[in-house]
Every structure is written in C-alpha cells, then in structure tokens.
Amino acid sequence: MNAMTDRTADLTTPGDRRAAGPLEVPADRSWMERHGRTLWISLARLGLLVLALALWQLASGRLVDPLFISRPSEIGTQLRSWLSDGTLTSNTWLTVQEILLGFALGASSGLVAGFFLAIVKVLGDVLDPYMIAFYSIPKVALAPLFIIWFGIDIKMKVLLSAATVFFLVYLNTAAGVRSVDRGLIDAVRLMGGSRRQMIVKVLVPGAMPGVITGLRVGVPYALIGAVVGELVASNRGLGYLMLDSASQFNTAGVFAALVVITIIAGILNLGVNLLQRRSSRWQARPGE
Amino acid sequence: MMTAVLRVVDLEKSFLKGDKRVVALQGLNLDVEEGTFLTVLGRSGCGKSTMLNMMAGLLSPTSGRIEFRGRPVTGPNRDLAYLTQHDTLMPWRDLQHNIEMPLEVRGVGRAERAAVASELIERVGLGGFEKHYPRELSGGMRRRAGLARMLSAQPDTYLLDEPFGALDAQLRAELQADLLRLWYGSGKTVVFITHDLEEALLLGDRLIVLGPVGRVLLDQRIDLPRPRDLDQIRLEPNFVKLHKVTADALRAGSVQREEGAA
C-alpha cells in the first residue's frame, strides 16, 4: 500500500518528468564555433562569383568574340544607361507586376480547386485525368491561343503565368489534403466535430506541407510564365527588352536583362524560404 | 442491480474484399455495466478493434446492433471517448492546444479550455511541456497526452484500444498505474482492449477473452482488491489462479481456430 502512494506521488514531481525526456545542457561554444562554417561558405560563394566574373572579363575579346559573350563591364554600363533613362525601372516593374498578379491568381485558384476537389472526392476522381492532361501541356504552347483570346498586353502574360502556377499549386494541395492521416480525421469525428470543423481544424492545417510545396515550386514558374509571355509577343517588359537587344545584336543588353531576371528570381526564392520557415515548426526538419 | 451502459446484441460485421466477404465478428452479445472496468483480451485478428470501432460509432454493424444507454449507436458520441492504438494528436498543435481540442470542438470558451487543459496536463505529469509539439515529445509522453485529451472531453465511458501496446515494459507499467489512478473512484465505465494477458488481469474488474470472429471464450470476474498495487498483485494466489484460467481459455481458442482452418 505504501509503495502505491509513493509511486502516485512520484508522477507529479518534476523529477519524474526529467527522466522521461532527453537531458538538455547548455553547450559552451564561441561565435566562430557556431557560425564559422556558415561564414566560410558565404565567403567561398562570393569568391567564386568574383572569380567567374574576372575570368569572363579576361576571356572576352581574347578567347571568345565579345559579340557572343559580351563582358561584365559592358553589361554594367548597359544597366546604368537603362537605369538612367528609365527603361529598366518601367520594364522591370511591368514584369514584376505580371509575376505577382500571375502568381496570386494561379495560386489562389489552385488552392481553392485543390481543397475543393480533394474534399469532394467523387468530383476529384472524375476530373483527375483531365487535370493531369492539362498539367502536361507545356504552357508555352498555350501562348498563341492566349494571344488570340487576350491580346498581347499584360493580361495575356498574367494569365499565362497563372495557368502555370495553378496546376502546380492545385496538384500539391490536393496531394496534401489526401495525405492527411485518416486517424486524425476520425479523431475529430470522435470529438463530435462537424464536417466544417473537420475541414478547418484537420484538413487545412494537415495539408499545409503540400500547399507550401506547391507555392514554393510555383514561384519560379510564375516568373517563367511572365517572361515567356513577353518573349512570344509584347512591346514592353524584361522579356521584350531581351528580345529587342538580341535583334540589334546587343549581347550586353540580353545579359543585362538576364541579370535583372535572376535577381528577381533570387528575391522571390528568399521570400518563399521565409514563408516555409515560419510555418514548419511542427514538422520534422531534415537531420532530426 | 447495475444497468448496462453498452449493450451489444447479435453483432455481426463483415467487410467486402474483392468478391469475397470477410467476416470479422459474428453473433457477439455483450453487456457492459455502469462503472465497470472491462478488459477484452484476444489475439490479433479476433475482431476486438472492429468491435470497439463500432462501439465508438466509426463503423456501422453489418447486422445486429450496439446500444449506448438504451439508444442505438449510429455515429460518434460525445459521451464516449476513444483512445486509439496509434497517436492521433494533431502534429501542428502544441500539447496545450491538443488537449483543449475536444473542448474547442464543442465551443467551450478560451479561458475555461485553458484551465481544464492545464489541470489535466499536471495530472498526467506533463507540466512544463505545454508549448511542445507532438514530435518533440517521447512516445510515452504522447500517450499521456492522448490520455489527457481523452479526459478533457469529460465523457462517461472510455474506450481504449491497446493504448500501451507500443511502449517498453517499464513505461507501460507506469502508464497502467496512471490510468488506474485517474480512473479509480471516478465511477466511469471503461472498455480496454489488449493482447497482453497480464495487463488484462491487472487492470480489469471483468475480463472477456475473444476467440476467432469474436466468439466469447471466457467471461470472468476479476475479484482482486482495489486500489491495486501492480507490483504486489502479481504475487496474489488469486491472480495466479486467474492467470491460469485465462491462459487456458486463450489456448483453447487457438486450438479451435486451427481445427477450423484444417
């Protein structure tokens, strides 16, 4: 009888809890020990970039005709001149608008469709092969049709970009909803939850990893959609700038536009990574 | 005279598998009295989880019926709480919010939810882990959390399906003691499924051994004193005797099954 009361008391003392999990002790590490590797990697990346630019600059005119590869200094000059006459700002702004609008439109419709068709399972099963078929069409191939439908202004690029993003977000969202553990759904039913509660409290948060994957994969495609749209038919935007420079054999101009597009892509990826880091604390990270 | 909380009448459940019908349970009759701790023992595949799923209202019987307090079970019921074999804590909710969830679902206010959950977290010995996510808790802690969540629903009947099956022996003993401590004196009805003979005897007031397709091989009262000290009780002559009776019944069941298969 004594042993029993002892055990019961034990369960509520903090000592018992510590025995239940791994022990955590503060690790005494210097700043260099903690961040040394990150710093080293960053420096190496920067070094590689400088080296590549230097080699490019040296090779141009000596080993390769500048008509083909231009040279970093000329690209810089081109960017400065575009910047001073306003060409760069207005065209970049247009492309950025196309990307953002295209992404917003494609992602939101993809989200709605993904949840809806995964929840109304019969409809999802019926539409599935068609969705896959549309997904498989290279979206560039839709450009001529989109020109007929929407003309060659910003609308066409936004929709081309949205069409690309839509399928990526739709497919990943639907896969996310379908991957939600059946046991969790039953758990809410057992609590007496309504269908609405089941969707809001289980399906939506449970599908988040899929949704985020879809959004992350979709971001670069929003950019691709917009730029491809501009390359096919336009009179403004970074894609047009690139095409126009190429037609005048202005290689520096082509590279300058590419640099800007790369920078936009980098910024977009940075945003996506932030989004992912914020929402994934409950998920296991690699290495755990 | 005790009344039956759960009444199982001529229960049958079969599943369609291709063009075959697989019978999981057949002709099961069972009354579970108010306030009883009933343990159901059986080898895997004897239909005990199927029975529990039907009691919980997750599955419907092929024929026969289950009544809860005189009413046929047609779907999940808030007065019945079910702790499944596997964790069903929401991975995206921290401990506190997982335990609050049953209350949230039924629309209890924030302050009251938090108060109930905090008290339960202390009672199951998880104080200090409120902000931890399930993946940050050990297997035993997740089971404790599952218990706490079940208790927060404040049901009057608990269904437990091999809740401690996946834990190591030491932890299982701890959680068995916890469960008895939380239940003892509460007057709640428990149906506890296990494939561990000792566990069935240690915890229950009444033990049922299920054979193939849910045939009742043994229906035995466990007249061991309460509250029970799980270490001491194994040495009681009565425990040893019950152990033998139950083991014999299990063995007889498996012999029958082999004969049936031959």
Domain map (residue ranges) of chain A? 30-55+71-77, 86-279
Backbone angles phi, psi at A5, to 5 degrees: -65, -35
DSSP string, A17-63: HHHHS---------HHHHHHHHHHHHHHHHHHHHHHHHHHHHHBTTT
Contact A201 B105 (CB under 8 A): yes
- DSSP conformational letter for A13: S
**3-class DSSP state for residue B31?**
strand
Quick one: pLDDT at residue A14?
Answer: 40
> What value of ipTM does the predicted structure carry?
0.86
User: Looking at the structure, do residues B201 and B250 belong to the same domain, yes or no?
Assistant: yes
User: Looking at the structure, do residues B37 and B120 belong to the same domain, yes or no?
Assistant: no
Q: Which residue range(s) make up the domain with B35?
A: 4-79+158-261
User: Looking at the structure, do residues B37 and B166 belong to the same domain, yes or no?
Assistant: yes
Burial of B198 (0-12, 13-18, 19+ CB in 10 A): middle
Interface of B with A in 55-114 (CB under 8 A): 56-58, 75-78, 80-82, 84, 86-88, 90-93, 101-102, 104-106
Query: Which among B127, B154, B181 is the end of a domain?
Result: B154
User: Looking at the structure, do residues B189 and B252 belong to the same domain, yes or no?
Assistant: yes
- DSSP conformational letter for B262: -
Residue A10: pLDDT over 50: no
User: Looking at the structure, do residues B101 and B225 belong to the same domain, yes or no?
Assistant: no
What pTM did the predictor assign? 0.80
Length of chain B: 262
The answer to whether residue B122 neighbours chain A at the CB level (below 8 Å) is yes
Residue A13: pLDDT over 60: no
The pairs formed by B221-228 with CB atoms below 8 angstroms and a separation of 24 or more are: B222/B39, B226/B184, B227/A4, B227/B180, B227/B181, B227/B184, B228/A4, B228/B180, B228/B202
Quick one: pLDDT at residue A139?
Answer: 87
Quick one: pLDDT at residue B2?
Answer: 56
Give chain B's domain count: 2
Residue A30: pLDDT over 90: no
Instruction: Tell me which chain B residues have a C-beta less than 8 angstroms from the C-beta of A20.
Output: 125, 138, 140-141
Structure tokens given for A176: 């996310």
- A196-235 tens-digit pLDDT: 999 999 999 999 889 988 998 999 999 999 999 999 988 8
State in words which class domain A86-279 has. Answer: mainly alpha
Quick one: pLDDT at residue A12?
Answer: 40
User: Looking at the structure, do residues B59 and B174 belong to the same domain, yes or no?
Assistant: yes
Quick one: pLDDT at residue B258?
Answer: 59
CA-based nearest residue to B202, from B210, B214, B194, B212: B194
Can you list the residues of chain B whose pLDDT is less than 50? 1, 262
User: Looking at the structure, do residues B150 and B187 belong to the same domain, yes or no?
Assistant: no
> What CATH number is associated with residue B257?
3.40.50.300
The answer to whether residue A7 neighbours chain B at the CB level (below 8 Å) is yes
Query: Which among B125, B154, B183 is the end of a domain?
Result: B154
B189 - beta bridge partners?
B157
Interface of B with A in 182-241 (CB under 8 A): 227-229, 231-232
The share of chain A scoring above pLDDT 70, in percent, equals: 89
User: Looking at the structure, do residues B212 and B142 belong to the same domain, yes or no?
Assistant: no
User: Looking at the structure, do residues B22 and B51 belong to the same domain, yes or no?
Assistant: yes
Query: Which among B154, B174, B201 is the end of a domain?
Result: B154
- A126-170 tens-digit pLDDT: 999 999 999 999 988 999 999 999 998 999 999 999 999 999 999
Instruction: Tell me which chain A residues have a C-beta less than 8 angstroms from the C-beta of B82.
Output: 190
Which residue in A1, A4, A12 is closest to B122 by CB distance? A12
The share of chain A scoring above pLDDT 90, in percent, equals: 70
